[in-house]
Chain A
Amino acid sequence: MTIDWVHFTPWSALLGGFAIGAAAAALILGAGRILGAAGILGGALRLKPGDTGWRLALIAGLVLAPSVMTILGGLDRPRIEASWPLLIVGGLLVGFGTRLGSGCTSGHGVCGLARLSLRSFVATGLFMIAGFATVFLARHVIG
């Protein structure tokens, strides 16, 4: 393992992490819900009366974040290099997997770990191992 010191951004990573954690704390204390992106979007698809508005409002906030960042001080648009077929396959797997597994990086990886849930520790360990293994295969075995 060699650490890429050139691209390592510890301070912005920590600062961004604090903001994500603050958002999770604000949602559970303010509106009594778990800040999990997959759960919030997946639940919105059910269109259950009385349980859809807050989900759509939160998603709208997420989508508007780049515009606010651009106004505040500029933000480079990230490059997305995956091919179209890969984007579709990856999207289907992420959508189905996060719902079957009851959570994603924010639901299990942030909120679940923060509330010391054993299920979330297992889920987070598994999706990280699967992610490491997939990138290893794609970049160092097949690629």
Chain B
Amino acid sequence: MGNQPQEFDVCIVGSGAAGGFMAKELCEGGAKVIMLEGGKEVDPVDLLSHKWPYELPYANLRREKQAYFYQGDVATSIRYETQAHVHVDRARVLGGRTMHWNAVTLRYAPQDFREWSLAGIEDDWPLTYEELAPYYDRVEQIIGVCGNEDGLDILPGGNHYLPPLPWRCSEHILKRATDSLNIPLISVRKAVLTKPYDDRPACHHCGHCMDGCDATAIFSSPNCTLPKAAVTGNFTLRQNALAREILVDREGLARAVSFVDTNTQKTEEVKARIVVLCCATVESARLLLNSVSPQHPAGLGNSSGVVGRYLHGHINAPVQVYLKELQGTKPINQDGATDHVYIPRFDYRDSHRGYAGGYAFQVNYDSYMFPRHARLMKGYGADFKREVRTMQPGYLVLLGVGKSLAVNQNYVSVDKNQVDAYGIPIPVVHFQFVENDMLVWQGMIKGLRQIVSKLSGDVFFNQSTSPSGLASHEVGTVRMGKNPKTSALNSFCQSHDVKNLFVTDGSCFTTSSEKNPTLTIMALSMRSAEYIIKQRKLGVI
């Protein structure tokens, strides 16, 4: 550790999208920062993303390719008390979920911050799109985003994008269908480089975005923001450091973070004047709820009782179509960078839709290697085999991504009687879809049927009778708001109760929209970091 300070200016817990930007901005602003990350680094050249199934010990049936991102017992040290088909995604690796994501990078629209004002349901955010827009601009320019400014109110954009990804044949065909319905189909915006940028190479179109990008063409905090933090000389990174609880002083202010070194199993402590949580929605809530003291008997920063509450995310519904026009054609390489196009929300045009919020569609978000229809089609033998082969070039998949409501009854708690491998109480997920969620899901399926009706091909809808979620987009458990009685954070992601505590990952969201949340997480982190720098200069914190 060399000449490390006894006490750091800031301790950041978590190294993903939020933590990376927080570290970069604070270090560039002169703060001495230590980052605690529960996992450890994976060198991109060690990723298994290009391995064939027959080269892997279990043909990837044990998710061998993604095992690097779920280190230790993170995947099993959680409990679900729910009948709903939901899953939360807890990565544990340097970079967090930026190490394996499709990189879809979308801004929230102005209306997404005003659910109460517009629909009388949920709450307004304590900030507006206009206040966040400059940070969206800066984040996009730092990470490199491909796509276009499409002139859509529902999906605002900047004017600095890299060239969009080329469209596949199936996407040109889809466009004919969506045009006939006056539904927009646009080039997707993604944090994928379509030309060299920021000393990182362009995408090599291998189709394995979700297995980790060995080319570093997809933004991750280890390939972009953490090096920028490190070059300032103000950044200290401690890996294999799993935060256990935040310790407070007599006034109830954060003074240190207690963590377990997962290599030695020893508990250590790092002192800091400011603590920023960037551990993602479930883990940040867990850490706060596990940080109990006489000054904070319900968990750190939880006088409102909302920490852990309002867990929500995205609802999904997929459809696979095998386009007749492409069936039987010579197989070509279609993998690309997974999503190349996107159908932004269009249901808001229907004022009689009967639900709040809405949905959008991701398109072709996965590799073409495995013929999914082969598991769904009936029959066997030579005809079956030939039909599978003939259909495969026609593959087109749409995934509905819909808003779920932020409601108090959905929450994360901790079980003091059940601990993980390091003695830390595990999180417990309590979640049920509510009526509005069901209506959004049904609306989403109706939208899918509408689009599919204009396509000629073999169609496979998911036969589930209930929605699934949360699409790895869970948010909301340490929500921001103006009222300290009903929220945990202010608009700068600062705890109402503990002025030197900040939380800037997805847990700070007041509500969700149908858009993927990562860009908003990064913009909020950047804004919060700027606030911290100013407050430090003023001597306020």
Task: Report whether chain A binds chain B.
Answer: no
